[in-house]
Copies of this chain bind each other. A is one copy, B any other.
Amino acid sequence: MSVRVGVLGATGAVGQRCIQLLDGHPEFELAAVTASESSAGLSYSEAAKWRVDSPIPSGAADLTVRETDPDAVPDDVELLFSSLPSGVAAEVEPGFAEAGYVLSSNSSNDRLAEDVPLVIPEINPGHLDLLEVQRDERGWDGAVVKNPNCSTITMVPTLSALDSFGLERVHVATLQAVSGAGYSGVSSMEIIDNAIPHIGGEENKMETESRKLLGTFDGAELSRHDAEVSASCNRVPTLDGHLENVWAETAEDPSVEEVEDAFRAVESLDLPSSPDPLIEVFDDPSRPQPRLDRTLGGGMAVAAGGVQTTPAGVQYNTLAHNTIRGAAGAAVLNGELLRSDGWL
C-alpha cells in the first residue's frame, strides 16, 4: 500500500540525502530518479557520485536516471520530492504539477508565492489547505508544497513556541555548515581556518519565510506574522548542522523555565519522520553543538539550549541538521503530511 515516489534532482547533495531517507521508508517506495540531461540513461549509482556516509541504498543504485521531464516519469508515481536548483525548479515544477504530480519541493523558488503553502508539519500543518486555493487558481491536478530554507527551519519551531508570549522582534545570527551550499558550493580554500559573514540571499529568506510560516491562514488568504526579523548569516567550517544564536523579544516576559517548557511543549506529529520530542532542550549552556547534536531524532529534531532572559529579550541557541530537517527530511516529512491529509 506504499506510495510510489520519485526524486527530481536526485544526484545533488540534497537529492542524495533524500534517497538515503527514503531507503526503508514505511510509506514510500522509490520508483524514479531524475537528474540533468547528461546523466539520463545512466544507473543512479553511476550518475550520483555518492558521498553520504552510509552505503548507497541497493534499491536506488540500479534505478535508471531519467530526464527531469513529466513525460519521463511513470504515471503511477504519485509524489515527487524536488531538490532541483531553484532556477531549474522554477521552469519545470509547474509542468509536473499541471501533469498531475504532487510535489514536495525543497527548491527556493515560489516559497513566498501567495498560493504556495510553505510548511513545517509540526508548526503550521493547516497551511497545507492553501493547496485548494492553488488548484483553483492554477487549474492544476497536482500540487506544489514547499519547505522553508534550512536556516529558517532551524529557528522557526522555537519562535513558534515563543509566540505564545507574543513574538515581536527577532535578531538571529547563524553559523551555517558547508553542506548547505551543496557539494561544490564552498571550496576548501575558502573555508579552512576561516568563516564567511555572508551567504547571498539567506538573510532575506530567514526574514520573509519565517513570517510566512508563523502567519495565519483563514481558509482563503495567508497573512504574515508581523514580527520583525533581522538575520546575519555566516558560513563556518562545519560539515552539517546549522547553529543559530537567537534573541527574541516578546510582549510578555517569560522566565527561563517558561521558555524551556514552551519549547518542550511543541508537539511532534504521528508521521514517520516527525521526531519525539521535536525540540530537545539542553541544560548545558555549551550545547547544542553541530557535531554532537545534529543527528538527534535521526536528524529531524531541533535542539535548543543556553536559554537566558536578558533586557534584550529571550536569548538562546538552536540547531538542526541542515540537509535532513533543513532540506531532504523536511521535504519527506511534507510528503508524509500530504499523504496523511489525503492530498495524494
For the complex of A and B, 6 pairs with smallest distance between CB atoms = A173-B173, A230-B312, A232-B245, A194-B291, A198-B286, A197-B317
Tell which of A63-71, A94-102, A175-183, A257-265 binds the partner.
Answer: A175-183
**Complex Cα distance A164/B328, Å?**
47
Copies of this chain, complex-wide, total 4
15 A-B pairs with CB atoms under 8 Å apart are A13-B189, A51-B189, A53-B295, A54-B295, A171-B312, A173-B232, A178-B192, A192-B291, A195-B236, A197-B243, A197-B286, A197-B289, A197-B306, A232-B247, A236-B237
Which of B185, B197, B295 lies in contact with A288, CB distance below 8 A? B197
Whether A87 sits at the interface, judged by CB under 8 Å, is no
Q: How many residues of A contact B (CB 8 A)?
A: 55
> Out of B197, B239, B290, which one reaches A245, CB within 8 Å?
B197
In the bound complex, residues from chain B placing their C-beta under 8 Å from that of A223 are none
Taking a contact as CB atoms closer than 8 A, the residue among B178, B185, B194, B232 that contacts A292 in the complex is B194
Across-interface contacts of A237 in B (CB, < 8 A): 188, 192-193, 236-238
User: A342 an interface residue at 8 Å Cβ cutoff?
Assistant: no
Q: Is A187 an interface residue (CB 8 A)?
A: yes
A193 to B238, CA, bound (A): 4
Cβ of A298 to closest chain B Cβ, rounded Å: 11
Q: Are A195 and B312 in contact (CB under 8 A)?
A: no
Q: Are B193 and A239 within 8 A (Cβ)?
A: yes
Q: With the chains together, A237 CA to B292 CA distance in Å?
A: 15
A91 is an interface residue with CB less than 8 A from chain B:
no
A178-B189, A228-B311, A236-B236 given; name 11 further pairs at CB < 8 Å: A13-B189, A54-B295, A175-B175, A175-B234, A178-B192, A188-B190, A188-B192, A192-B193, A194-B238, A197-B287, A198-B286
Chain B minimum-CB-distance residue to A171: B171
In the complex, the answer to whether B291 meets A232 with C-beta atoms within 8 Å is: no
| B residues less than 8 Å from A312 (CB atoms) | 169, 171, 228, 230
Q: Within 8 Å CB of A169, what residues of B?
A: 312
- Which of B184, B232, B247 contacts A315, CB < 8 Å? B232
Closest to A318 in B: B197
- Report the bound CA distance from A120 to B29 in whole Å: 41
Please tell me if A191 contacts chain B, counting CB pairs below 8 Å.
Answer: yes
Nearest chain B residue, comparing its CB with the CB of A236: B236
In the complex, A34→B51 CA distance in Å? 37
Q: Given A53-B295, A173-B173, A237-B237, A290–B194 Cβ distance below 8 Å?
A: yes
Interface residue ranges of A29-52 to B (CB < 8 Å) = 51
Which residues 277-323 of A have a CB within 8 angstroms of B? 285-292, 295-296, 305-306, 310-312, 315, 317
Please determine whether B171 and A305 come into contact, CB atoms closer than 8 angstroms.
no
Query: Nearest-CB distance from A139 to chain B (Å)?
Result: 39
A6 → B minimal CB distance (Å):
25
Min CB gap A304→B, angstroms: 10
Q: How far is the CB of A302 from chain B (nearest CB, A)?
A: 14
Which chain B residues border A72 with CB–CB below 8 Å?
none
Give Cα A312 to B188, complex, Å: 33
**Does A292 contact B239, Cβ atoms closer than 8 Å?**
no
Residues of B within 8 A of A185 (CB): 187
Report the bound CA distance from A185 to B173 in whole Å. 24
Q: Does chain B have a CB within 8 A of A88? A: no
